[in-house]
Amino acid sequence: MPSSTSSSETAAAVPVRPPADLWRRIWSLALLVALLLLGVWELGWRLYGFVPSVEDDWGIWASRRRLLIEAPEKVALVGASRIQLGVDPERFQRESGRAAVMLAIDGNAPLAVLSDLAEDPRFNGSVLLSYVPMFFGETAVSDRRARKWLRRYRQQTRSSRLETTLRIAVQERFVFRYPGLAPARIWEHLTAGTRPRLIYAPMRTDRYRAADYDLIDIDQLREARARRERRRQQEAQPLTAAAFEERIKNLSLLVRQIQRKGGRVAVVRMPSQDAVRSVEAATWPRRRFWDRLANRLSIPFIHFEDHAELAAFDCPDGSHLGAEDAQLYTAALVKILKRNGFFD
C-alpha cells in the first residue's frame, strides 16, 4: 500500500503534512506507553518466576567456538545436554585453572564437532568429550543440527557476530525477549487454558544451563525422558561389529589428530538413573561397547560407575544433573582429570 511519501517519480510531489510538532507529541506518547507497558510486562513475568535466559542457537555456539582459535590453554566441552547441564565452565576454571568452552549441542551426537576441532589447524587446545550410550546408535541421535551449526560458523560474517553479541546483551538482561512469552505463544496458552512454563534450565552466556527441577513437574519430565530413551532404543539401528570397529578407528584417528597438535582428549560418561539408565544398559551394554572403546583408545575414559565421587549424584529427570549437583560434579570431575594427567 502506498505510504505516500511521494505520489510520483519527482521528489517535489510530497503531499500535505500535518503540523510538525504533532509527530513529536505522537512519538513521545508512543514511547512512553511502550516503555511503561513493557516494564509492567517484564516485572509481571519476573514476579511470576521467569529469569532472563539466553536462547541457544548457532550464533552463540559460533561465538564460543571462536574462543578456541589459537588457545592451547582452553578445554572444549563437547557433547549434548548432559554435559551442558552437568559441567559448569566457571567452576571448571576455578578448580583446574584452565578455561572451559561449552560446545555441547542439545540432542545431537558430538562426533561432527570433535571432527571439526581435530581438523582445524588453529585449534590446539584439549577436549572433554561427553559420550553417552545412545551415541553408539546410527540413527538414535542425529548430528544434523551440529553439522548445520558448523557450516554456519564457518560462513559467519562480522555483522552476524555483532548481531549475536547484541542479541545476547538483550536476552541476558530482559525476560520479555524469551520466545516462550511471545504474543503468539501467550495466545496459544490462553486458548488452551494453560500457563507458560518457567524456564527450569536457563542458559548463561557461556552456554552452561543451571537446572532447577523445583520449577517443573518432575514426574512428568522423568516420564518424558524415559519415553524418549525407549523411542530412541526402538529407532536405533543395531551396530554391527564392522561398523563399531569403524567407529573406534575414526574416534582414534580424531584423538590422534588433536594429540598431534598438543591437545589432550578425555571421554566422560555422565550419570543417568532409573528408567533412562535401564534402557541405556539394555540397548548398549557397557561391557560390549563402552569398555571395548575404552580399551582401544589410550586416553582417560571416566565412567561415573567407576568413581564413587561421581556415582552418588542424583539425576532428577533420569539423565541430567541439577544446578547444585553440577557444581560438585564439576569439582569432582576436575580432580579425576587431574589424577589422569589431563592438565599436565
Partner 1 sequence: MLFNSLTFLVFFAIVLALHHLPLPWRWRKGQLWIASYLFYAAWNPPFVLLLWISTVVDWFAGRRLASASEPRFRRLILLLSLAVNLGLLGYFKYGTFMLSSFIDFMDTLGIAFRPAMPDIVLPVGISFYTFQSMSYTIDIYRGRMQPWHSFSDFALYVTFFPQLVAGPIVRATTFLPQTIEPRRATTDQLGWGLALLVMGLSQKILLADALLAPVVDKVYASPAQAGWIDVWMANLAFSGQIFCDFSGYSTCAIGVALCLGFILPENFNAPLAAEGFTDFWRRWHISLSTWLRDYLYIPLGGNRKGDLRTYVHLLITMLLGGLWHGASWLFVLWGGLHGGFLAVERFVRRWGNQRGIRLSHAFWHVSIWLLTLALLCVTWVFFRSHDFGAAMLLLKAMFGGNGGALLTGAEIRQALFVIIPLLVVHRRLRETNLRTVVASWPWSVRSVGLAGLLIALCLSPGDDRAFIYFQF
Binding site for partner 1 (CB under 8 A): 1-11, 14-15, 17-27, 29-34, 37-38, 41, 55, 157-159, 162-163, 166-167, 170, 176-179, 181-184, 191
Question: One-letter amino acid identity for 7?
Answer: S
Residue closer to partner 1 by CB (options 72, 179) is 179
Residue closer to partner 1 by CB (options 3, 234) is 3
Question: Smallest distance, Å, CB 123 to partner 1?
Answer: 25
Question: Smallest distance, Å, CB 176 to partner 1?
Answer: 6
CB atoms within 10 A of CB 208: 26
Residue closer to partner 1 by CB (options 62, 140) is 62
Question: Smallest distance, Å, CB 180 to partner 1?
Answer: 9
Question: Smallest distance, Å, CB 219 to partner 1?
Answer: 29
Question: Smallest distance, Å, CB 243 to partner 1?
Answer: 32
Question: Smallest distance, Å, CB 46 to partner 1?
Answer: 15
Q: What is the dihedral of CA 163, 166, 169, 174, to 10 degrees?
A: -90
Residue closer to partner 1 by CB (options 180, 261) is 180
Residue closer to partner 1 by CB (options 166, 281) is 166
Residue closer to partner 1 by CB (options 167, 335) is 167
Which whole-number Å values give the CA distances from 240 to 136, 176, 263, 288, in the listed order?
11, 49, 31, 12
List of residues 6+ apart from 84 with CB closer than 8 A: 77, 102, 104, 106, 207, 208, 209
